Amino acid sequence: MPREFTTIGVVGLGTMGAGIAEVMARNGIKVIGVEVDDAGLARGRGHLRSSVARAVKRGKLTDAEAQELQDRVAFSTSLDDLAAAELVVEAVPEDLELKRSVFQRLDAICPPETVLATNTSALSVTEISVATARPSRVVGVHFFNPATVMKLAEVVRTVVTDPEVVEDVEALVRRLGKDDVTCGDRAGFIANALLFGYLNHAVAMYEQKYATREDIDTAMRLGCGLPMGPLALLDLIGIDTAYEILDTMYKQGRDRLHAPAPILKQMATAGLLGRKTGRGFYTYE
Ligand code: CAA
C-alpha cells in the first residue's frame, strides 16, 4: 500500500506554489505553506483567497467548504515549521543554487523519512538531491500552470530515488485527481521537452515580424485545436520562467531549438513577465 501523506509542506507560494497548496488542501490534506518574508506570505495568502472566492462564486465550493479548505492551510516564514511535514514540495524560483540551499536546510529540519520533492521545470533533480543526505528520498513532482486546473503531474525519478518513494508520490498525484506520468531526470522531463521548442519557435516568428501575435496564436488555436496560442501561453507561464527553462534546456542539450529567442531575455529584464505583471506579449487588466 502506498504511503498516504496527511501533512504536506509547500516552500514558495508564488504562482505554482500557491496553486499546489490549494490543490492539496482541496483534497483534504493539511498544508504548511512557507515563504521567505511577510510580503511573500501575504501574496500567497491572497492567491489562495481569491482563487477560493472564485470557486465559491462559480458554485464549485460552498462557503463552508471554502472555509474548511482555508483552515487546512497554515502559513509561516520559517522552514523550521516543516518538521511536521511528511512530504515537502519545493516551488521556489528556477535557480539551482537557491533550490540546493533550500534542500540542504530541509534535510536538517525534516525527519529522515520525510520525502523532499521539487517542482522544478527543467533543473536537474539529481543535482538538487545531492545537496541532502537522503538523495533516495528526493523526487521531482512537476505540476502545470494553472495547477488547480491542469490534470497532470510528472513524477521524476533519479538514478538513486527509492522506487517506493516514486510509487508514493504517484499515488499522491492520483489522490489529487490528476494523472501521473513518470520519467527520468532530463531537462524538461516529458512535456516541457516537447513544448518549449515550439514556444521558442513561435517567439522567433513574432520577433522576425513574420506574423502578428494574434495571427500566430489564432493559427495554433483554431488550426491545431490547442486551448491557447503559444504567445498567450508564454504570458501564462511567465516570461522569466520560460526564459530560465529554455536556457537550462539549451545548456544541457546545446540544441538550437532551445536557444532562447533574444526578445525573451529583453522582456524578462524589462519586467514584461506576462500575466503576473500585467504585461507580456499582451496587456492584462
Ligand atoms: N488560474 C487558476 N484557474 C484558472 C486560470 C488561472 N490562470 N484560468 C482559468 N482558470 C480556471 C477557471 O477558474 C475555470 O475553473 P472552473 O472550471 O473550476 O470554474 C477553468 O480554469 C476553466 O477556465 P475558463 O473557462 O475561464 O477558461 P478556458 O476554458 O479558456 O481555460 C485554461 C483556461 C485552463 C488556462 C486553458 O486555456 C488551458 O488549458 N490553457 C493551456 C494551459 C497550459 O498549457 N498549461 C501548461 C503550461 S506549461 C507548464 O505549466 C509547465 C512549466 O513548467 C512552465
DSSP 155-207: EE--TTS-HHHHHHHHHHHHHTT-EEEEE-S-TTTTHHHHHHHHHHHHHHHHH
Q: Is 66 exposed, middle or buried (0-12, 13-18, 19+ CB in 10 A)?
A: middle
C-alpha of residue 150 to centroid of ligand 1, in Å: 7
Same domain, 158 and 17: yes
Residue 199 forms part of a structural domain: yes
pLDDT tens digits along 177-212: 999 999 999 999 999 999 999 999 999 999 999 999
Instruction: Mark whether 48 and 12 lie in a shared domain.
Output: yes
Beta carbons within 10 angstroms of residue 122's beta carbon:
24
ipTM entry: 0.93
**Residue 276 alpha carbon to ligand 1 centre in Å:** 14
C-alpha cell at 154: 510528472
My answer on whether 209 and 87 are in the same domain is: no
Residues 54 and 121 in one domain: yes
CA 125 to chain centre: 14
Determine phi and psi for 34, rounding to 5 degrees. Answer: -120, 135
Residues 198 and 66 in one domain: no
Q: Are 25 and 150 in a shared domain?
A: yes
Contact in structure between 126 and 118 (CB atoms under 8 Å): no
Other Cβ atoms closer than 10 A to 202:
24
Asked if residue 282 belongs to a domain, the reply is no
Assign residue 78 the CATH number of its domain: 3.40.50.720
Q: Compute the average pLDDT of residues 135-163.
A: 97
For residues 131 and 217, membership in a common domain is answered with: no
For residue 149 and ligand 1, the question of a CB distance below 6 A is answered with yes
224 lies in some domain: yes
Annotated catalytic residues are: 121, 142, 154, 192
Does ligand 1 have an atom closer than 6 angstroms to the CB of 251?
no
Q: How many CB atoms lie within 10 A of CB 273?
A: 20
116 touches 90 (CB < 8 A): yes
Give the residue from 157, 183, 209 where a domain finishes. 183
Domain with 211 in it: 192-275
Domain annotation covers residue 280: no
pTM over 0.90: yes
Q: What is the pLDDT of residues 19-65, one digit of tens each?
A: 999 999 999 999 999 999 999 999 999 999 999 999 999 999 999 99
Peptide bond into 146 cis (omega under 30): yes
